Amino acid sequence: MIDLHTHTTASDGSVSPPDLIRLALQNGLEAIAITDHDTLEGADEGGPVATSLGVELIVGIELSTRFEPQLVDLIRPWVGSRRIPSIHLLGYFLADAPPAAFRSWILGHQESRRKRNIELVEKLRGFGFDITLPEVSKLGGKLTGRPHFAEFLLRKGYVKNRQEAFDLYLADTAQAAVEREEPGLLESIQMLRQNFGMPVLAHPVRLPLGDHPDGLRALMEALCAAGLQGLEVWHSEHSPEQQALYEDLAGSFGLVATGGSDFHGTHKPSIGLGTGVGGNINIPKLRLDSMRAAASAAKISS
C-alpha cells in the first residue's frame, strides 16, 4: 500500500517529516509522497530518514492555485455566480529533483500566504476574537495555514470543533475569507511540466463543479490541453460513487489515477495515514508504477 498525499509540520500537518516516515513504516506502507502546501521543505527533510528506513519517498507539493479567467468562463454554466475557491494541484517529482527555478517560483507563494495571514487575523479580530498572528503561528512550524487558525479558535473556545471554524469563518466562501494572490492553475500545470514535475488535480470533489460530469469533462479537456497528467481519484473525502466517477473520468482522458489520504495528523484527526477515513482508501503500489510509466512516456515524447 502507498499514500500519495500527506502533510507535515513543514506546512499544516502536525507530524514532522521524520516521524511521518516512521509512521508510514509502522502502517506497512511501501511508499509515500510528502505533498506540503507550497513548500518542498518537508519532502526535503524526509529524504534521509526514508532512505535509512527503506521507505520509498516521493518528493511532492500541493499548490494552491486559481482558475484563470478563461477557465472561469468555461465553468460558469455549471457554477453560476458562485465564488470560486482555491484549486489544489499536486506535483510529483518522480525522476528528477525540483530545479532551482521551481524552488524560487514557490517562494513567491509563501509570501502571499504571509500577507493573507495578516489580513485574516484582522478580519477575525473584527468578529471580536482575541487573536494575534504570533499566537497562531506558535501552533505550527515554518508555515502558518488555516488549520492552525482553526486549532486556535477551537482552543480559545470560539468554535465547537475545527470544521465549525472553517464553516463559519475560514473556508473560501465563509465570513472571514481572504482572497489571496495565487498562481493560475494552467500556469502551475505548465510550470510543473517544465520543471520535471507531474501535475495531478487534487481532490476533485472540492471543485466548485461538485459532481456535474459535463462540467468536469469540459474542465478536464482544458486542463489536459495545458499538460495535466493525473487526477486524484482516491481521497479521504471521496464517496465510493465519486471515486467511480473520477476513475472513469481519468480513464477517458488518459490521465493517471492517483490517490492519497491527505493526512494532516491531529489537525484532521479522523484521517489515517494510508487508510483515509474509516479505511475508505486503499491504494496499491501499482498506482505509483503507472505514474512512473506515464512520466517516462511523456519524457520520451517531449
With CB under 5 A as the contact rule, which of the stretches 84-92, 99-107, 253-261, 289-297 interacts with Fe ion?
84-92
Tell me how many residues contact Fe ion (CB under 5 A): 3
Q: Are 292 and 285 in contact (CB under 8 A)?
A: no
Q: Which position among 5, 66, 109, 146 is part of the footprint of ligand AMP (CB under 6 A)? A: 146
Cα Rg for the chain, rounded, in angstroms? Answer: 18
For residue 64, state whether it binds ligand AMP (rule: CB under 6 A): yes
d(CA 24, CA 263): 11
Q: How far is CA 118 from the centre of its chain?
A: 22
Shortest distance, position 7 Cβ to Fe ion, whole Å: 5
H or E, element range at 235: strand 230-235
> x/- string (CB under 6 A) for ligand AMP, residues 10-39?
--x------------------------x--
Q: Which position among 66, 88, 113, 180 is part of the footprint of Fe ion (CB under 5 A)? A: 88
Q: Which position among 3, 41, 232, 262 is part of the footprint of Zn ion (CB under 5 A)? A: 262
CA atoms within 13 A on the CB side of 86: 22
With CB under 6 A as the contact rule, which of the stretches 74-82, 139-147, 190-198, 224-232 interacts with ligand AMP?
139-147
DSSP state at residue 96: S
With CB under 6 A as the contact rule, which of the stretches 129-137, 141-149, 219-227, 232-240 interacts with ligand AMP?
141-149
H or E, element range at 236: none
**Residue among 88 and 193 whose Cβ is closer to Fe ion:** 88
Q: What are phi and psi of 140, to 5 degrees?
A: -125, -165
Least Cα distance to 59 among 197, 189, 203 occurs for 197
With CB under 5 A as the contact rule, which of the stretches 55-63, 110-118, 211-219, 239-247 interacts with Zn ion?
55-63
For residue 12, state whether it binds Fe ion (rule: CB under 5 A): yes
146 touches, from Zn ion, ligand AMP, Fe ion, none (C-beta below 5 to 8 Å by class):
ligand AMP
- Cross-strand partners of 93: 59
Q: Which position among 25, 79, 139, 171 is part of the footprint of ligand AMP (CB under 6 A)? A: 171
Least Cα distance to 267 among 39, 7, 5 occurs for 7
- For the chain, give the number of residues: 302
Q: Cβ neighbours of residue 273 under 8 Å, at least 6 residues apart?
A: 3, 6, 20, 23, 24, 27, 29, 32, 261, 263
**Residue among 55 and 202 whose Cβ is closer to ligand AMP:** 202
DSSP state at residue 13: -
With CB under 5 A as the contact rule, which of the stretches 26-34, 88-96, 116-124, 126-134 interacts with Fe ion?
88-96
Q: How far is CA 233 from the centre of its chain?
A: 13
**Residue among 138 and 217 whose Cβ is closer to ligand AMP:** 138
Q: Which residues bind Zn ion (CB under 5 A)?
A: 62, 262
Q: Which residues bind Fe ion (CB under 5 A)?
A: 12, 88, 202
